[in-house]
């Protein structure tokens, strides 16, 4: 039984997709947890399974082609994967809500902003007061001229404003966990900073937990308490953000950090990771990172390392202790 | 790059307008700069600032409203026929989307052979040799000539885009967001390749991007654009050390960065400067400085008097009345 302060616990989650010649193990035994009010980042590149993991938290992976092939997702102690349809309806919005990368495509173009926020409220509460509540939500997310915007259609707003509306809808029922899947990737840098500041303020104000799905390590460094790194459907590293970024234990985390250009500049060349992100339909044998790993040995090709968890730090590498002893463990810059 | 290298590209007061004549969209509104042989110049700004339009206009892919573009002293606007075709061989573009910029029905060999043949009449054997050489230069196996674009990953396709650009032996390459569609682990492969080739071949490179850290890694000098105008131009280290325009300052402050994040956790670092509002539409010209509605440092003068781009330190230009106080 998880500790009381834990809001979400994912245990050995398996999400597979059927449809092609072979089943695709998009998420392959992922475990992590989120405490109340905490900001957790799930990091990885395209196809690593981070978004599917996020969707699984509210059982939103479409079935078919998806299938929950194993594991548990506990939200407030109850297994989401075994809930009835009506239980799920109560859960979504109240316990957990989502915002996505493209606010423009997540909003319905033929309804006004006000209508869409009222709808989110109406599904969980009586209709009375929904209009006032929608207006209050728009104020909360700092949309300029909120009374006027209630009657606006999504195309009349800028990308940053659309994302504010998405946040207003997501928070309308005061969820305990907000899942933000690449919430700022489609936005300009200065707008990105506005949205992140807003999320941070709202999180403190409302005391909700935030799961940030991203590929941007800079964003992780600046926002998350803890970070989970995924590669090829597997969790490969976890821990407190400052520890993981300062002394990564998995070669993938380490290589990724060394490959990110820094604002302060760097001496000489950045070290590229050779090869490319593997295709989910065709994961490599052994350790899934071995074809691109600079430290790979014979054992890594045939045997997959187990997930080792100690003192809040998790890693999936046979040789992490040796790796840690190597010079320039932090960044190789 | 040597400071006295010949000027490859001389851009003089270029304007690109769209739409009705009475109230045009001023996508590029009076941009001037020089790019020398062997220099890597970064063009940064947010979406809608005109950076891509400017890049396209410089290759005559967009018509100019006014201004002059000289490539090695030759005026682009006046080029016609065979001389325009020759110009296309001297300047090439690499696009953001490597999926959209390769013809899915052409094999890699066919695509590169066509580009090589467009540049010079040679024997078939020499052409094949050149295609193999190009593939090797961008880190691909020369045996790939019979394959088609869909058989390659995003990073490999961007390598192919680069090979095709190099096929005509250009002197100038304009790269528009060449790595922003790629995964983080693959980005650096392409950046390193671009840097190496630029140095080896002594290319003039105009690198258009929104990611300041990426631009800093590749470029010697930077131009910052806002609403169709250059607001700051400076050598990369100088601009990052001390931005002399409030917009550049805000951009630098807004970028999430691993180093900054770790410093902030350790209790250091400066507080984030968050700009209010969105950039205004480029349809109507604001009185005064185009940045004043969002500028945290704006004063009365900024609302009425447009600042000129002026040198505030050797090689460092800023279009801010109060650049000296920054």
What digits encode the pLDDT tens for the residues B149-191? Answer: 988 888 889 999 999 999 999 999 999 999 888 888 888 989 9
User: Could A256 and B184 be called an inter-chain contact, meaning their C-beta atoms sit closer than 8 Å?
Assistant: yes
Give the CA-trace dihedral at A282, A288, A292, A297, to 10 degrees.
-130
B274 CA: distance to closest CA in chain A (Å): 6
The chain-wide mean pLDDT, for chain B, equals 89
Q: Write down the pLDDT at residue A327.
A: 66
- Chain A residue with CA closest to B212: the answer is A263
pLDDT higher than threshold 80 for residue B267: no
Pairing of the two strands B25-36 and B7-18? antiparallel
ipTM of this model? Answer: 0.81
DSSP 8-state secondary structure symbol assigned to residue B315: T
Question: Do residues A217 and A260 lie in contact, with contact meaning Cβ atoms separated by under 8 Å?
Answer: yes
User: Could A215 and B183 be called an inter-chain contact, meaning their C-beta atoms sit closer than 8 Å?
Assistant: yes
Domains and their CATH numbers in chain B: 7-90+168-325 (3.40.50.300), 105-167 (no CATH)
Pick from B220, B276, B278, B293 the residue to mutate for testing the A interface (most A CBs within 10 Å).
B278
CB pairs < 8 Å spanning A and B: 148
pLDDT tens-digit series, residues B268-288: 667 778 888 777 777 777 889
Residue B309 pLDDT grade (very low, low, confident, very high; cuts 50, 70, 90)? very high
Give the CA-trace dihedral at A123, A128, A132, A133, to 10 degrees.
-30
Q: Write down the pLDDT at residue A251.
A: 94
Contacts of A261 in chain B (CB under 8 A): 188, 191, 211, 213-214, 216-217
Question: Do residues A116 and A169 lie in contact, with contact meaning Cβ atoms separated by under 8 Å?
Answer: yes
Q: Write down the pLDDT at residue A153.
A: 94
User: Could B214 and A257 be called an inter-chain contact, meaning their C-beta atoms sit closer than 8 Å?
Assistant: no
User: Could B213 and A161 be called an inter-chain contact, meaning their C-beta atoms sit closer than 8 Å?
Assistant: no
What's the whole-number mean pLDDT along residues B292-317? 93
pLDDT tens-digit series, residues B197-228: 999 999 999 999 988 999 999 999 999 999 99
Q: Residues near A187 by Cβ (< 8 Å), separated by ≥ 6?
A: A159, A160, A163, A195
Q: Write down the pLDDT at residue A1.
A: 36
**B180 touching A (Cβ < 8 Å):** no
Nearest to A252 by CA among A216, A279, A282, A277: A277
Contacts of A243 in chain B (CB under 8 A): none
> Which regions in chain A score pLDDT beneath 70?
1-4, 327-333
User: Could B278 and A191 be called an inter-chain contact, meaning their C-beta atoms sit closer than 8 Å?
Assistant: yes
Residue B1 pLDDT grade (very low, low, confident, very high; cuts 50, 70, 90)? low
Contacts of B155 in chain A (CB under 8 A): 276
């Amino acid at each position: 039984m998880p500790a009381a302060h834990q809001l979400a616990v994912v245990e050995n989650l398996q999400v597979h997709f059927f449809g092609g010649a072979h089943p695709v193990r998009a998420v392959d035994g992922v475990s992590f947890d989120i405490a109340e009010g905490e900001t957790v980042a799930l990091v990885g590149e395209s196809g690593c399974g981070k978004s599917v993991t996020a969707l699984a938290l509210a059982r939103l992976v479409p079935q078919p082609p998806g299938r929950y092939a194993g594991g548990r997702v506990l939200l407030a102690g109850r297994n989401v994967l075994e809930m009835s349809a009506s239980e799920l309806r109560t859960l979504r919005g109240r316990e957990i809500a989502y915002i996505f990368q493209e606010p423009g495509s997540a909003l319905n173009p033929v309804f006004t902003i006000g209508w869409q926020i009222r709808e989110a409220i109406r599904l969980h509460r009586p209709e009375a007061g929904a209009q006032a509540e929608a207006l209050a939500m728009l104020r909360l997310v700092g949309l300029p001229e909120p009374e006027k915007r209630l009657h606006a259609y999504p195309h009349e707003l800028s990308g940053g404003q659309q994302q504010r509306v998405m946040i207003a809808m997501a928070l309308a029922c005061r969820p305990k966990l907000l899942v933000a899947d690449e919430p700022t990737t489609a936005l300009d840098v200065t707008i990105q900073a506005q949205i992140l500041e807003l999320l941070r303020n709202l999180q403190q104000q409302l005391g909700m937990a935030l799961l940030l799905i991203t590929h941007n390590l800079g964003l992780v460094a600046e926002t998350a308490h803890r970070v989970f790194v995924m590669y090829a459907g597997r969790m490969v590293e976890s821990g407190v953000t400052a520890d993981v970024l300062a002394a990564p234990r998995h070669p993938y985390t380490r290589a990724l950090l060394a490959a990110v250009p820094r604002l302060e500049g760097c001496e000489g060349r950045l070290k590229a990771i050779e090869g490319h992100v593997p295709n989910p339909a065709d994961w490599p044998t052994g350790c899934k990172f071995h074809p691109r790993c600079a430290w790979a040995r014979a054992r890594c090709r045939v045997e997959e390392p187990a997930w080792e968890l100690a003192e809040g730090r998790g890693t999936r590498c046979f040789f992490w202790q040796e790796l840690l002893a190597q010079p320039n463990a932090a960044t190789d810059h | 790059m040597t400071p006295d290298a010949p000027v490859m590209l001389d851009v003089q007061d270029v304007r690109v307008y769209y739409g009705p004549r009475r109230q045009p969209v001023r996508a590029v509104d009076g941009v001037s700069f020089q790019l020398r042989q062997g220099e890597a110049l970064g063009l940064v700004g947010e979406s809608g600032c005109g950076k891509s339009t400017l890049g396209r206009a410089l290759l005559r892919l967009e018509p100019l409203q006014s201004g002059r573009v000289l490539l090695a002293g030759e005026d682009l606007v006046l080029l016609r026929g065979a001389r325009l075709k020759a110009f296309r061989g001297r300047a090439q573009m690499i696009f953001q989307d490597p999926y959209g910029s390769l013809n899915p029905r052409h094999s890699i060999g066919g695509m590169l052979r066509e580009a090589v043949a467009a540049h010079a009449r040679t024997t078939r054997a020499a052409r094949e040799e050149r295609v193999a050489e190009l593939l090797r230069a961008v880190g691909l196996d020369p045996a790939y000539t019979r394959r088609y674009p869909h058989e390659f990953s995003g990073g490999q396709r961007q390598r192919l885009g680069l090979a095709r650009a190099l096929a005509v032996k250009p002197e100038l390459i304009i790269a528009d967001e060449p790595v922003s569609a790629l995964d983080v682990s693959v980005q650096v492969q392409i950046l390193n390749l671009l840097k190496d080739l630029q140095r080896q071949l002594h290319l003039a490179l105009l690198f258009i991007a929104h990611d300041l850290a990426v631009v800093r890694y590749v470029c010697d000098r930077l131009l910052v654009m806002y609403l169709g105008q250059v607001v700051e131009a400076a050598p990369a280290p100088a601009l990052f050390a001390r931005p002399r325009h409030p917009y550049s300052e805000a951009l630098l402050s807004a970028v999430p960065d691993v180093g900054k994040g770790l410093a902030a956790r350790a209790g250091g670092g400066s507080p984030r400067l968050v700009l209010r509002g969105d950039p205004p539409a480029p349809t109507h010209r604001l009185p005064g400085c185009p940045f004043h509605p969002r500028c945290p440092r704006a004063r009365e003068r900024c609302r009425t008097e447009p600042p000129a781009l002026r040198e505030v330190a050797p090689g460092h230009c800023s279009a801010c009345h109060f650049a000296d106080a920054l």
